[in-house]
Structure 1
Amino acid sequence: MFSYRHGFHAGNHADVLKHIVLTQILRYFNQKDTPYWFIDLHAGAGLYDLEGQWAQKKGEYLGGIASVWGAKNPPAAVLHYLDVIKGLNPDGELRIYPGSPWIAFESCREQDKLRLFEMHPSEADILRMNVEHRGTQSLRQTNMYAEDGFAGLKAHIPPPSRRAIVLIDPSYEDKNDYRQVVVTLKDALARFPTGCYAVWYPQVLRREAQDLPRQLERLAGKSWTHASLSIQKPAPDGLGLYGSGMFVINPPWTLNAELKQTLPWLVSHLGVDARAAYKLDFLDK
């Protein structure tokens, strides 16, 4: 239950896609003065050392953030994402990679609130320590919970301002996570139908992973964006992550146009073989 540590995967191709999308959502929410809540159901440790033993063990960041770090003339959405990471690496050397909470910290205003859930005891402790190091303002606007985000979400929606971004990105090591995503979203949409819900999922050779986007489409109603990025063909033994997707319910109206520019560029910079590809589907009635 507590075996998963995101440090092994920090900055990989899936993080690049997820965090580009998240950065664009946050930027859009900042266009209005009304405060919003960022609710992360699987927050992790918040910050990751790419020179540490966990990141170095698999080196997944080499096929992710390291492949776009020095790229010339990236699309605007990639540039915004890289600006966040460069702010954490002021000497220009890529070492620190931000998890989703830190992407939010670097984007949220003083009036916005963060609600961070993390079940893994060690990860939750590191997250709290990292937030404390950010200082008083971050502590003032953040509540952290060492508990199940799926179960905890219902107590936090809708927020007082009725503006919120909910990020749902479990590890999916437990196949029950796929079902739990659907159950949680169904309840959340009944409680808070106008919230922005961003769901990350892995592309793996597992029936549950392939069924999840179709289930989300049926739940999503009249406004959603589905972006997926495959970097290579699936392994012959069926193991491993060959891509990932982001499904956003009630997305910013600007997101589709941004992804049309961004996804082909990501294929060219992160693709491993001829099967590298992207898909972008959306509904806006």
Structure 2
Amino acid sequence: MNYRHAYHAGNFADVVKHAVLARILDRLGRKDAPYRVLDTHAGVGLYDLAADEALKTGEWRGGVGRVLEATPSPALAEFLAPWRQALREVNGGDHVLVYPGSPAVATALGRPQDRFVFNELHPIDADQLAATFARDRRVRVTAEDGWIMPRAQLPPEERRGVLVVDPPFEEAGEFDRLVRAMRDAHRRFATGVQLLWYPAKGAGAVADFHAAVAAGPVRRVLRIDHWIRRPTVDGPLAGAGMLVVNPPWPLADEIAGVIDELAALLAAGPGARGRVDWLVDEDGRPAADA
């Protein structure tokens, strides 16, 4: 519970994660029916890029800062458009001073009929999260164990929605918890979308995690991995990944078409690359390397 995302907000991993989340919400919002977003490890929601924490690491400069300075291809610009919309919403324009975490991305793109439950266990961050969204009647903030929180919230009464699981990975066993959370959420809400984030450190741990997910029983699991440099044993975080359960059409093709360009744009050294494939397809067949 010591992890504070303020030091890392807007970095390369946030850019890809939040761009994918924004695309998912954009697709869900194309139908009039309401949806619900549950975020198990929500942080504070908004991050001041001029605060001491952000300035100390400067990670945002290689993430959101890099993207805002670039001229992406039409395909990448289209893919990033909902995320860019969220940036404009929270900043009141194109000049980005505040970076929106997953809760702020969700509410910026949400509609009056949509609902949001944001959970954060860290007491200081939970209070700040609640203050940030105190005037938004669509939002409820809880301060529970993020691994347990979905049990009381699923299935949502709207029967449409997204579960975002973005743990800090500061304790042993986080990958095992992620597998259990995914399976439990699927039992309770089999048609729901899940977005599960993880750091791409420790190749063996990530491979074991993928193998456990591929063993079933959850189907339609899209794998999105990206690296900004070649991983080293003791070096800084070189990559991150997401599993998306029940991704809305045509997210798989959209992200596959831009992941290499996005990885190159965010590159911090040799070896930057991306990978998009079905870890488990709709027929339950695992990827060859799972």
* Same-fold status (TM-score > 0.5): yes
1:175 aligned to which of 172, 175, 180: 172
Q: Is 1:33 matched with 2:35? A: no
> How many equivalent pairs are there?
278
* Equivalent of 1:203 in 200, 209, 218: 200
* RMSD of aligned residue pairs (Cα, Å): 1.5
**Does the residue aligned with 1:25 lie in a helix, a strand or coil?**
helix
Q: What CA distance in whole angstroms lies between the structure 2 residues aligned with 1:205 and 1:189?
A: 27
Which residue of the partner structure matches residue 60 of structure 1? 59
**Preserved CA contact (<8 Å) 1:64 1:270:** yes
Query: Structure 1 CA distance, aligned partners of 2:94 and 2:66?
Result: 15
Asked if the contact 2:227–2:239 (Cα under 8 Å) also holds between the matched residues in 1, the reply is yes
- Find the counterpart in structure 2 of residue 251 from structure 1: 247
CA contact (8 A) 2:87 2:94 kept: no
Q: After the TM superposition, which residues 228-243 of structure 1 pair with which residues of structure 2 at under 5 Å, given as runs?
A: 228-235=225-232, 237-243=233-239
Equivalence for 2:21: 22
Cα deviation code 1:181-231 (max 9, x no counterpart): 111122111121111111011011263333222322333633121111111
5 Å matches for 1:154-233?
154-205=151-202, 207-219=204-216, 221-233=218-230
For 1:184 and 1:25, how far apart are their aligned partners in 2?
20
- CA 1:109–1:164 in structure 2 vs 1: closer, same or farther (change >3 Å)? same
AA aligned to 1:82 is R
From 140, 150, 153, the equivalent of 2:150 is 153
Instruction: Quote the sequence identity (%).
Output: 34
TM-superposed deviation, 1:91:
5.2
Q: Is the 8 A contact 1:78 1:262 kept in 2?
A: no
Structure 1 pair 126/71, CA: closer, same or farther in 2 (3 Å)? Answer: same
Aligned partner of 1:69: which letter? L
Superimposed CA distance per residue, residues 74-95 of structure 1 (whole angstroms, 9 cap, x where no aligned partner): 4111132122112323354321
Instruction: Supply the distance in 2 between the matched residues of 1:220 and 1:7 (Cα, whole angstroms).
Output: 36
Whole-angstrom distance in 1 between the partners of 2:34 and 2:265: 36
Letter in 1 for 2:40: L
Q: Does 1:4 align with 2:3?
A: yes
1: CA distance between counterparts of 2:103 and 2:92? Answer: 19
Q: Which amino acid aligns with 1:111?
A: Q
CA contact (8 A) 2:90 2:104 kept: no
Secondary structure of 1:227's aligned partner: strand
| Aligned equivalent of 2:287 | none
1:87 counterpart = 2:73: no
Q: Report the alpha carbon displacement of residue 173 of structure 1 after superposing the two structures with TM.
A: 1.1
The alpha-carbon distance between structure 1 residues 83 and 228, as it changes in their structure 2 partners (threshold 3 A), is same
Q: Any conservation in 2 of the 1:175–1:208 contact (CA below 8 Å)?
A: no
| Structure 2 unmatched ranges of 5 or more | 284-290
2:125 is aligned with what amino acid?
E
Q: Post-superposition shift, 1:274? A: 2.3
Corresponding residue for residue 268 of structure 1: 264
Amino acid of the residue matched to residue 182 of structure 1? V
Cα deviation for residue 175 of structure 1 reads: 2.0
Q: Contact conserved, 2:24 with 2:251, CA < 8 A, in 1?
A: yes
More helix per residue: 1
Deviations 1:58-114 (A, max 9, x none): 111111110001222441111321221123233543210000000000111111110
1:124 partnered with 2:126: yes
